Amino acid sequence: MIELFLLFIFYQYQNIEEEHIRTNLFLEMKNYSLDFEDPRFDIDIVAYYDKQVFYELQEDKKSLFMLVPFQDSTEDVLKIIFPQEKYHALIEAVEKKQRMQFLLLTLIAIVLSILSAIYSLRPIRSSLRMLEDFIKDIIHDLNTPLTSILINLKMIDEKGEEIESISRSAKNIAMLHQNLDSYLKESKNHEEQFSLKEVVDNQVRFFAPMYDYLAWNVEVDEVLLSTDKNAFIRIVYNLLSNACKYNTSDGYINIYLTQHILTIENKSYGVRNPSRVFERFYKESERGLGIGLHIVDKLCTELNIKKEFHLQDTIVKVTLGVGVVTLK
């Protein structure tokens, strides 16, 4: 916007300057017709004919000129000439000056914009730092009680629906804890071989009881992956969590492996901005923190896994290129 405004101003200024040059040439030619002492002008004698215009700046392909009548002649007219080359040189000098001014003002505008942006973003950066400190405090405070809950759950011999519900909730909090921890810091990945089917089945067993109204269809062969297992588990967890949360009441989740491509497909109510789903803090409803799919993006980059998001009508598909797969 600033550039367009400056261009408009300089365009108007250039028109004014050109008119100013022409006005000065007219006045100087008029003075020249009295004393003939300005070396910039040439003179010529032309024949008089009807409808000639005197004392007015005129122009042809070769020059700007003014016609002046002779006081003692009715057949000849004095033509005062200023060459087009010299006129264009004056215009070019004005344009050069304007370009320098435009570049200078553009540079000043850029500097002011940067300083304004820095000043405006300072509260946002401060808020983000406070948010990260807050998340760090939450992670630290959650770690001890969460560990204690998980250990005590393992020590309970009695099994029942209530215990299973508590266990799932604790594991859900534990995964959220890992997501927050992964969001705040870079973690070192440890490559190991593990069963893709085992990871998928474990996550399905975790989510299916909580979303028992969804139709689950899993078709994953018994294959081995060689990558960081914990990071890959978080990828699958976050994708399934997102697929479950934003599904429909009569929806489904399909998980299948085809030619080293793992696909998680689900029904949804639609996605308004598919290109933004992996952005940090982006969400299309009030639910969640908006970091689940961002962590998927972050972990896929770290593990060199190619991911793609597809939307066809209301059907969402996320594909993961799991790389080299070794058949058992």
Whether the CB-CB separation of 196 and 300 falls below 8 Å is answered with no
Whether the CB-CB separation of 293 and 273 falls below 8 Å is answered with no
How far apart are the C-alpha atoms of 302 and 296, rounded to whole Å?
10
Higher confidence at residue 180 or residue 120? 120
Q: What is the pLDDT of residues 289-327, one digit of tens each?
A: 677 888 888 889 888 899 999 988 889 999 998 865 444
Pick the CATH number of 190-327 from 3.30.365.10, 3.40.1350.10, 3.40.50.300, 3.30.565.10: 3.30.565.10
What is the structure's pLDDT at 240? 92
Residue 256 has pLDDT above 90, yes or no: yes
How far apart are the C-alpha atoms of 133 and 152, rounded to whole Å?
29
What is the structure's pLDDT at 328? 42
Run of H or E residues at 198: helix 196-207
Ordered by start, the domain boundaries in the chain are 2-107, 190-327
Q: What is the pLDDT of residues 137-192, one digit of tens each?
A: 666 556 556 566 666 666 666 666 666 666 666 666 666 666 666 655 666 678 88
Residue 47 has pLDDT above 90, yes or no: no
Residue 265 has pLDDT above 90, yes or no: yes
pLDDT bracket for residue 252 (50, 70, 90):
very high
Round the average pLDDT of the chain to a whole number and report it.
80
Averaged pLDDT, 46-71: 84
Q: Which pTM does this prediction carry?
A: 0.53
The residue whose two tokens read 């983000």 is: 128
Give the range among 126-130, 237-241, 251-255, 262-266 with minimum mean pLDDT: 126-130
Averaged pLDDT, 18-30: 87
Q: What is the pLDDT of residues 76-112, one digit of tens each?
A: 888 899 999 988 888 888 888 878 877 887 788 788 8
Run of H or E residues at 219: strand 215-219
Q: What percentage of the chain exceeds 90 in pLDDT?
A: 15
